[in-house]
Structure 1
Amino acid sequence: MAVTLRAEIAALPPYRQGRAAAAEAFKLSSNENPRPPHPAILAAIAESSLNRYPDGAATALRTRLAERAGVPVDEVHAGAGSVSILAQLVQAAAGPGDEVVYPWRSFEAYPLLVTVAGATSVQVPNLPGGRHDLGAMAAAITDRTRVILVCTPNNPTSTLVTAAEFAAFMAKVPPTVLVVLDEAYFEFVTDPHAVNGFTELQNYANLVVLRTFSKAFGLAGLRIGWAVGPAYILDAARSAAIPLAVTEPAQRAALAALEVEAELREGVDELIERRARVFEGLTAAGWTVPEPHGNFVWFAAGDDTAAVAALLEEDGIIGRVFAGEGIRISIGEEASVDRLLASAARVVQTLPGAVENARLG
């Protein structure tokens, strides 16, 4: 006789990590920063006391981040990646009978986190082109809505929310509903019209902003993210957190990364320039892809997704496949650019219908 589990949890597919790549291929499936860690970060990690527990409050790091954001330290929270903080926020605000509204497609962890909390997902389809339909998201709010998730740049479509769009949206959100602005890819945004969560915090008492060290700072393997928002909301998230989840190596690495941020930003600028070349090359080859604002691009290949992914893989390009919808391709090493563009051009010749799907998507 088997152990009785929660049926909704047992039915959930586990989170799938981006596929690994063979030695001769490029792993562009996980939105990782291709640059190796900065020597200062490695040196900081080496000083960790692995036989001792970490500072569970991440005091030094939160103090530094509070200075950066211009807020009191109790309005900053650190977690084992921004997704762990998101899980804590959802659990703190929503439970059985409650609803969490979010765009779809978006970050695939969203439905998992909502279900684990016992709440109900309300998925609002994106607009053609992959942008959030904020009007429809606002219209989806009911008296059961407890949390709304906004992802900008959106993962996996790489589209963004402008400041004007966010203001119009927030004007329709009741102040009792928690809005989480997921800005994991904020450092890759160059559009001057894009929303900046830190600027918006002063305008909305029901807003929490998520950032991470995984992408621009290149610390994905150490799992460390942070949030800024009202202290009482973050206190509730801290109560829902697994104790001591943010390790000392992660805290030390994040502090070191902030010290060498100017150098790390040079790497971000390189990825942004590389992203522009990828976007231009894909467009020239005949693809219609949303203008990318994260460190990735989106192929809306629809029913041809599996076939497109197979052709890309034949050429040594491993992307993140969303069956029947599309493929997310991270901006990787410089050497990956020409191979990706050549492979994408081959797809146009081999599967012209896939290009048409992308245009319609």
Structure 2
Amino acid sequence: MTADRNAHDRLSPELLFPSPRPEVESLHAYSAPLEGRRQMLRLDFNENTIGPSPKVVEALRAIPADHIAIYPEYDGLKEAVVANLGLPLQPDQVGLFNGVDAAIHAIFHAYGDRGETLLTTTPTFGYYTPCAQMQGMAIEAIPYEGEGFAFPLERIRNALQGAPRLLLICNPNNPTGTRLAPERILELAAAAPQTLVVVDELYEAFTGDSLLPLADFSALPNLLVLRSLAKTAGLAGLRIGFTIGHAAVVDRISRVTGPYDINSFAVTAAFAALNDQAYVDDYVAEVIQARAWMAEQLRAAGVRHHLEGGNYLLIWPQGDPAAVDQALREAGILVRAMTGKPLIDGSLRVSIGTLEQMQRFWAAYRRIEAIPA
């Protein structure tokens, strides 16, 4: 017995548990440095920087204790999303998910298969790639073009001729802010009926050029839009996101999720947030104002930056980016280093908050970089 135990102890760790699929073995877990952020000015993850509507907080506090003990109910939530959008959609065209990350995972689970191809751009949101890898998909990531990070429209058009399984466009793109006109996206979807064209519109509110008002999902059933209440309504901590598209596609994606993926608190908060669009609109307007102010300061100071869409910008420090990042952290301000990202290595992504918050950031950044007044 002792000899057998000693022999077991000498086995390599890989032999002590069942082997996962080869695709999983080659993955690295998607992780982000989310600890120790609560007392800081959080300009690192493009979140709402002031919190949700007071009506959301009031609704959460009013949840009866016995409701915590029962599974969540979703009656009316899809209808509330449709009403908030104000578009001729049906409730079965809306899918409910535990954040857009879960929706993205479900899309790949439902439609991605080994040997098929994900077509996307680079740099873009980092979660698309591991979702494709876990399905054994090939990835064709086409770089944005030039110093202005223009969308590589012709190269995407050409790549669609190979009938990739999925085309994923973040619009406006995170982290470059690149925007593609809705009409061009509709053209891409029409030209590739065998490709599911997924448009990630999490930051659309800050640019105002959604394709939803133009989309006819009956004519383009291969088109799917992602939306969230994280960036605008301040519900990132509760995790709730939506897919909007043809009912049959939404149904297939919903089939690969759990029966109660969205918790009761998120449902309650979503109803309250959707019913207080004025609060969201006011916050978005304040961010747009602060974004314009920030761009003016950067231009006047001659600081290299890129700002096109979304509630974020890219900035290239004169000093060592890691040192600037750390100095900002020590000043109580968090930004996101783009270290190793194609085309934008050496930059910092800075989320845009309120005017007061951006004034605080700019004062700290000027001091760190010794930018004269």
TM-score grouping bracket, smaller chain normalisation: 0.7 to 0.9
Number of aligned residues? 344
Give the 3 Å change call, closer, same or farther, for CA 292–71 of structure 1 in structure 2. same
Give the 3 Å change call, closer, same or farther, for CA 260–247 of structure 1 in structure 2. same
* CA displacement at 1:163 relative to structure 2: 2.8
* CA displacement at 1:83 relative to structure 2: 2.0
- Helix, strand or coil for the counterpart of 1:184? coil
| Contact kept? 1:279, 1:292, Cα under 8 Å | no
Give the 3 Å change call, closer, same or farther, for CA 112–303 of structure 1 in structure 2. farther
**1:240 alignment counterpart:** 256
For 1:145-164, list aligned pairs within 5 A.
Answer: 145-164=164-183
**2:352 alignment counterpart:** 331
Aligned mates of 1:302, 1:231 — CA distance in 2 = 50
**2:7 alignment counterpart:** none
Equivalent in 95, 99, 115 of residue 113 of structure 2: 95
* CA displacement at 1:16 relative to structure 2: 2.4
Q: Which amino acid aligns with 2:357?
A: S
Q: Which amino acid aligns with 1:13?
A: H
| Contact kept? 2:40, 2:333, Cα under 8 Å | yes
CA RMSD of aligned residues (A): 2.5
For 1:69-218, list aligned pairs within 5 A.
Answer: 69-128=87-146, 129-141=148-160, 143=162, 145-171=164-190, 173-190=191-208, 194-202=209-217, 204-218=220-234
Equivalent in 27, 32, 50 of residue 35 of structure 1: 50
**2:10 alignment counterpart:** none
Equivalent in 298, 320, 326 of residue 314 of structure 2: 298
Show structure 2 runs of 5+ residues with no match: 1-14
* CA displacement at 1:314 relative to structure 2: 4.2
Equivalent in 246, 250, 255 of residue 271 of structure 2: 255
Aligned mates of 1:60, 1:22 — CA distance in 2 = 35
Q: Which amino acid aligns with 2:133?
A: T
* CA displacement at 1:107 relative to structure 2: 0.5
| Contact kept? 1:131, 1:157, Cα under 8 Å | no
Give the 3 Å change call, closer, same or farther, for CA 285–24 of structure 1 in structure 2. farther
Aligned mates of 2:109, 2:318 — CA distance in 1 = 33
**1:6 alignment counterpart:** 21
Give the 3 Å change call, closer, same or farther, for CA 245–132 of structure 1 in structure 2. same
Aligned mates of 1:242, 1:319 — CA distance in 2 = 34
Aligned mates of 2:49, 2:169 — CA distance in 1 = 26
**Larger CA deviation: 218-227 vs 14-23:** 14-23
Q: Which amino acid aligns with 2:225?
A: V
1:341 equivalent to 2:362? Answer: yes
Aligned mates of 1:170, 1:62 — CA distance in 2 = 25
Aligned mates of 1:206, 1:149 — CA distance in 2 = 12
Give the 3 Å change call, closer, same or farther, for CA 201–300 of structure 1 in structure 2. farther
Give the 3 Å change call, closer, same or farther, for CA 242–283 of structure 1 in structure 2. farther
**1:61 alignment counterpart:** 77
Equivalent in 318, 323, 336 of residue 320 of structure 1: 336
For 1:40-51, list aligned pairs within 5 A.
Answer: 40-45=55-60, 46-47=62-63, 49-51=67-69
Show structure 1 runs of 5+ residues with no match: 351-361
| Contact kept? 1:282, 1:345, Cα under 8 Å | no
* CA displacement at 1:11 relative to structure 2: 3.4
Aligned mates of 1:222, 1:236 — CA distance in 2 = 24
| Contact kept? 1:222, 1:250, Cα under 8 Å | yes
If the length of structure 1 is used for normalisation, what is the TM-score? 0.86
- Helix, strand or coil for the counterpart of 1:175? coil
- Helix, strand or coil for the counterpart of 1:345? helix
For 1:13-32, list aligned pairs within 5 A.
Answer: 13-20=28-35, 25-32=40-47
* CA displacement at 1:285 relative to structure 2: 1.8
**Identity of counterpart residues, as a percentage?**
29
Aligned mates of 2:213, 2:16 — CA distance in 1 = 49
Q: Which amino acid aligns with 2:124?
A: S
Aligned mates of 2:35, 2:63 — CA distance in 1 = 30
| Contact kept? 1:19, 1:318, Cα under 8 Å | no
